[in-house]
Amino acid sequence: MKLDPRQVKSKEKLHEAYLSLLIEGQDQLTIQQLCQKAEVTRPTFYKLYKDVNELRKALMEELLLELKKALTILNPKSLDEISEEEKPENLIMLFEHVQKNNIAYETLLIYQPDALFINGMHEILKEYVRDGIYFSQTRPYLINVNEQLIIAYVAGAYIECVRWWITTNYDTTPLEMAKTLIELSLNGPYIKRLP
């Protein structure tokens, strides 16, 4: 269903109101609270959503769709064909996406963690890691552990790095964060091999 510009604006205002009320500590949101905060009428709300949960899911789907787009590997190459500049490309887009949607990420990852959103983010990151292993042809270099465990481990680490970045008030640039995660992904956190 194509929304007219007024409906698009109302939708944005409702999404902002939802996040704002969560930040304020409201956990059982009502349609009345949302409409009041967003300065939209109840009929406008019902034209867009049937209830608060549908609004919540729509907001998260929109964010996760953008995240998936940022993490889609468009130019797959093996690791030895990828230049140093190309390696962090998708991860730079991940951090730029988080920064652009900082209020949503701060709310749904830090202030009022939402399992639905975090699980969706984890699945997208796992797919990105899986694709990265496949396209970069690094499977032979993986340690002898179940590959699904490695994928879950790396995706979980990426989420925690995003949380850390948010809590440090985005002190590190998206490029620096991306380069660091690539380095950690390829070589781990140690300067040299442990005995």
Give the CATH number, domain containing residue 40.
1.10.10
Which pLDDT value is given to residue 72? 87
Count: domains in the chain: 2
7-21, 76-90, 160-174: least confident range: 76-90
Q: If you average pLDDT over every residue of the chain, what do you get?
A: 88
* For residue 64, pLDDT beyond 90: yes
DSSP string, 129-178: HHHHHHHHT-GGGS-SS-HHHHHHHHHHHHHHHHHHHHHTTT-S-HHHHH
81-85, 103-107, 150-154, 163-167: least confident range: 81-85
Band the pLDDT of 25: cuts 50, 70, 90.
Answer: confident
In angstroms, rounded to a whole number, what is the distance separating the alpha carbons of residues 132 and 71? 10
Of the three residues 26, 50, 74, the one that is the final residue of a domain is 50
* For residue 195, pLDDT beyond 60: no
Whether residues 10 and 92 fall in one domain: no
In angstroms, rounded to a whole number, what is the distance separating the alpha carbons of residues 12 and 25? 20
Rg (CA), the chain: 19
Whether residues 28 and 84 fall in one domain: no
Mean pLDDT value across residues 41-57: 95
Which pLDDT value is given to residue 102? 96
Q: Residue 62's domain spans which residues?
A: 57-187
Residue 158: C-alpha distances to residues 2, 10, 48, 55 (Å): 35, 33, 33, 27
Whether residues 122 and 146 fall in one domain: yes
Q: Is the residue at 193 inside a domain? A: no
| Residue 13 structure tokens | 């205002």
* For residue 192, pLDDT beyond 70: no
Whether residues 69 and 141 fall in one domain: yes
How much of the chain, in percent, has pLDDT values that exceed 70? 91
Q: Is the residue at 195 inside a domain? A: no
Between residues 2 and 150, which one has the greater pLDDT?
A: 150
DSSP string, 21-60: HHHTT--S--HHHHHHHHT--HHHHHHH-SSHHHHHHHHH
How much of the chain, in percent, has pLDDT values that exceed 90? 64
Whether residues 31 and 62 fall in one domain: no
Mean pLDDT value across residues 128-144: 75
For residue 74, give the DSSP letter.
Answer: S
* For residue 136, pLDDT beyond 80: no
Band the pLDDT of 140: cuts 50, 70, 90.
Answer: low
In angstroms, rounded to a whole number, what is the distance separating the alpha carbons of residues 60 and 58? 5
